[in-house]
Structure 1
Amino acid sequence: MEKMYSYKGFEVTVKLESVRAVSNEFTYGPPVGYVAVVSICTADPRRPIGVPIRLVTEGHRVFGTVDDALTAGLSAAQRVIDDRVAP
Structure 2
Amino acid sequence: MTIESILGAIVIGAVIGAIGRLLLPGKQAIGWILTIVVGIVAALVGTLLAQVLGVETTPGIDWIELVMQVVLAIVGVGLVAGLRRGRRV
Q: Please classify the TM superposition score into its range, dividing by the shorter chain length.
A: 0.3 to 0.5
TM-score (norm. length: structure 1): 0.40
Whichever structure has more strand as a proportion of its residues is 1
TM-score (norm. length: structure 2): 0.40
Whichever structure has more helix as a proportion of its residues is 2
Which protein shows a greater Rg? 1
Give the structure, 1 or 2, with the largest relative contact order (CA under 8 Å, sep 6 or more): 2
